[in-house]
Amino acid sequence: MDKILRINMGADGGPKAEAEPVGSYAGMGGRALTSAIVSKEVPPTCHPLSEDNKLVIAPGLLSGSAAAMSGRISVGCKSPLTGGIKEANSGGQPSQMIGRLGYAAIVLEGKPKDDTLYRIYINKDKVEIKADKSLKMLGNYAVAEKMKAEYGDKVGCISIGPAGEMKMAAASVAFTDMEFRPTRHAGRGGVGAVMGSKGVKVIVVDDAGCSVRSPKDADRFKEANKAFVAGLRKHAVTGQGLPTYGTNVLTNVINEAGAYPTKNFMWGRFDGCSKISGETQAETENTRGGEGSATHGCHRGCVIRCSGTYYDKDGHYLTKQPEYETVWAHGGNCGIDDLDTIAMLDRLDDDYGLDTIEMGATIGVAMEAGIAKFGDAQAAISLVKEVGKGSPLGRILGNGAAVTGRVFGVERVPVVKGQSMPAYDPRGVQGIGVTYATTTQGADHTAGYAVTANILGVGGSVNPLKPEGQIELSRNLQIATAAIDSTGMCLFIAFAILDQPDTFQALLDLLGSFNGQKLTGDDVVGLGKSILTMERDFNRRAGFTKEMDRLPDYFKKEKLPPHDVTFMVKDSDLDQVFNW
């Protein structure tokens, strides 16, 4: 990974690819690299769909190596949804492949003069860029099928659906999984719209003939990896909860805690919760046969394997096992308690190339506006189909909750920096509220997952309903997360490394031995801080202020049942999150 592949889609005479040495970006991976390139090379006030924006696709530091869990990938740009810097993270196969191809990042730059749509094929010998009209407005599933037919099933695809082509701010970038299905998404912030603005429909990566990236200190690396895997298997969350029920194990947990945002964040508990919980989902999947629940990793090298496959009533593949946040977004948040509906919506989102969180939150807002009734499953499916069609209504919804709220004059719109809040009400999990408010990314649970100490008793314990201790909690998690997002590691390793010092040490050894260095916890903290500083600097130059590090006013005024609590962390305390 000592090269950066730059593809100028606006070059005179047509798109042009050039590999260049990684240069001053050496030693960076994943989010550290996407944020460094965006921060340094993208004018902060540019239009996100303009030629000046760049789409940076970067595997993690350990991607392409034999390290467990190292196949996550970062997609960065100036976000069309938030107007700030964006890193959206995904699983799937391409990360390991790009790492093995030797690229620290693929950077899409410029934009075509017309609306020609391109596909890009990258292997160890060449980069091929071809105009391909036949791909226009295809769903991600059809694109993957076409690529598989042409290049075989050993390659990986990075693609956009119709939403990305229509430059919708909820558009995702899809990554194919181990079954060559486009089920893994860099979902948040409209990264798919930026790929669409570059005129790129799909990037096929083919690592045939490339070898696994080898560590500098092979013995130490092997040892560390073993200890690391053992640590993950030992922890209750990564060793049992997640493998058994997937992320949807959280539905009952969060609902029980009274922090499950129901019907556009009106209540903290959902009546229909038990019908869509991870337990019910696992049972449904297991009953219907097939691969069942929780047998999948999202990428080769995963040992947690929190994913699965969802089959319809007739036993046909419908979609991957929907994640907790998806089940919430299309479920409780819209008053819908039917798993088949939720799975269908997940499938549609994946196919059109849409962020499931943004879409669920958006439909919740549309329901509050009276466009459909809460609980109306068929209406929700119809609304998402409108997005796929690109009708005016679909265009509104495909641009997310903030735009939808604006267009329909809705006051209660659960967004920060224009991005929808995920599946944890910030009044019921005040620590995640601090993260929503202050992260550089717009409301994002993964940026500093305070649900750990607030609800799960992981990494300590902080009362979720009180403001005390939330700033420190969110700060430390945001720092750690930024660092983890740079390694290519799945964020779920955090459960084990927060609780088990020896597993954290194993991670340090993994990273250190790979590069022949000795790393300490301070190095990780330093890395995390440097990334956050870079990102905040970009946002500042884009015009962001502390007034944007706030939840919408109504979270401070409306009490959330059943605990009847408001968000109580003070503005002045929020301003201390990055004051380390």
List residues near a copy of itself by CB under 8 A: 43-47, 49-50, 52, 80, 166-169, 193, 196-197, 391-393, 395-396, 399, 403, 406-409, 411, 541-548, 550, 552-554
Q: Least CB distance from residue 354 to a copy of itself, whole Å?
A: 15
Q: Least CB distance from residue 385 to a copy of itself, whole Å?
A: 14
**Cα–Cα nearest to 151, from 207, 193, 109, 197:** 207
* Amino acid letter for position 176: T
Alpha carbon distance 306, 314 (integer Å): 24
First to last CA, the chain: 32
Taking the least distance from each CB to a copy of itself, the nearer of 418 and 488 is 418
Q: Least CB distance from residue 452 to a copy of itself, whole Å?
A: 29
Please answer whether residues 32 and 56 qualify as being in contact, where contact means their C-beta atoms are separated by less than 8 angstroms: no
Name residue, tokens 């003070």. Answer: 570
Taking the least distance from each CB to a copy of itself, the nearer of 2 and 553 is 553
3-state secondary structure of 543: coil
Taking the least distance from each CB to a copy of itself, the nearer of 543 and 562 is 543
Cis preceding linkage at 562, omega within 30: yes
CA distances from 394 to 350, 450, 481 (A): 16, 34, 34
Taking the least distance from each CB to a copy of itself, the nearer of 151 and 408 is 408
Taking the least distance from each CB to a copy of itself, the nearer of 472 and 537 is 537
Taking the least distance from each CB to a copy of itself, the nearer of 162 and 239 is 162
Other beta carbons within 10 Å of 11: 15
Taking the least distance from each CB to a copy of itself, the nearer of 166 and 531 is 166
3-state secondary structure of 434: helix
Alpha carbon distance 323, 99 (integer Å): 26
130: CB partners within 8 A, 6+ apart: 118, 119, 120, 121
3-state secondary structure of 377: helix
Q: Least CB distance from residue 75 to a copy of itself, whole Å?
A: 18
Q: Least CB distance from residue 531 to a copy of itself, whole Å?
A: 22
Taking the least distance from each CB to a copy of itself, the nearer of 289 and 409 is 409
Q: Least CB distance from residue 460 to a copy of itself, whole Å?
A: 32
Taking the least distance from each CB to a copy of itself, the nearer of 78 and 475 is 78
**Cα–Cα nearest to 384, from 402, 363, 409, 365:** 363
Please answer whether residues 174 and 160 qualify as being in contact, where contact means their C-beta atoms are separated by less than 8 angstroms: yes
Q: Least CB distance from residue 406 to a copy of itself, whole Å?
A: 6
Chain centroid, CA 59 distance in Å:
14
Q: Strand 55-59 and strand 73-78: pairing?
A: antiparallel
What are the two backbone dihedrals, phi and then psi, of residue 159, each rounded to the nearest 5 degrees? -140, 165
Please answer whether residues 326 and 346 qualify as being in contact, where contact means their C-beta atoms are separated by less than 8 angstroms: yes
Q: Least CB distance from residue 121 to a copy of itself, whole Å?
A: 26
Taking the least distance from each CB to a copy of itself, the nearer of 11 and 253 is 11
**Cα–Cα nearest to 437, from 270, 560, 280, 567:** 567
Alpha carbon distance 520, 504 (integer Å): 10
